[in-house]
Amino acid sequence: MWTHSWLLAVLAALCIGLAKSGLGGFGMLTVLFMAEVLPARESTGVVLPLLIVGDVFAVSVYRQHARWHYIRHLLAPALVGVVVGYFLMNLIPDHAFRHVLGWIILGLTALQGSRQFFNEKTVSRLAHTSAFTNTMGGLGGVSTMMANAAGPVMSLFFLAINLPKYELIGTGAWFFMIVNLCKVPFSAHLGLINSTSLLLVAMLAPVVVVGIGVGRLLVGVVPQKVFEWILLVSAAVGAVRLIYA
């Protein structure tokens, strides 16, 4: 049993590294694996510090690719979403939120995947509106606070505005580091980050770094279109798992 739990924890940390290197869909697998090791709510107190470890390395590698215009517009609604998620964590049962989030992500994934059937200029114009940015930023903030599951949401946003691969990774790296650091006081106040969780983080942090190294190699050889479909399929699989978990 202990071996099985440690294997899942290591896989969760490895997926964080892969996600932070640009394969964002793997972030959902982190949430799923760690929730099998610890109760879903408590698992967020381990995942968040590991995400920050990954953020630091991702920013150091991809910082020059960031598009700050999008980061500035996303931060305000995202931080509002974090505050909303903080208050909701004690009101909504974990399983109920997981189902809602799963359906939202699945719907957005289907919409993004169907873009090829619609007028590209129309879709792009919608994606660049303030309403779309605020909605996605807010949804990302709520989902990252409650479940550390904003990766698919923000990946879909970045794909919708047609960010090239490395700009998507660099922009996401800075955005998530800022948001995750802002989440720390809230998680600590909820008792989710403590000495026990930080000990587990210290043991798993090296695995995150290994995952980033592996992910960089994969991102360098994966074509843009394949890269986008990996994100979409990973998001869809993660959403289905959330719905039926």
pTM score, whole prediction:
0.82
- Give CA torsion, residues 53, 151, 61, 52, to 10 deg: -10
* Confidence check: pLDDT of 180 > 80: yes
Question: Are 84 and 142 a contacting pair, CB within 8 Å?
Answer: yes
- Cα dihedral across residues 12, 18, 24, 26: positive or negative: negative
Quick one: average pLDDT of 125-139?
A: 85
Burial class (CB in 10 A: 0-12, 13-18, 19+), 73: middle
Residue 238 confidence (pLDDT) above 90: no
Question: For residues 49 and 115, what is the distance between their CA atoms, to the nearest angstrom?
Answer: 35
Per the structure block, which two tokens stand in for 81? 């979403």
Mean pLDDT of 184-195: 92
What pLDDT score does 3 carry? 76
Q: Are 174 and 113 in contact (CB under 8 A)?
A: no
Tell me the one-letter amino acid at 205. Answer: A
Q: How many helices and strands, by DSSP H and E, does the chain display?
A: 11, 0
pLDDT at residue 126 in the model: 73
Tell me, what amino acid is at 181?
Answer: L
Predicted local confidence at residue 10, as pLDDT: 94
pLDDT single digits (tens) 225-235: 776 677 678 77
CB 155 within 8 A of CB 112: no
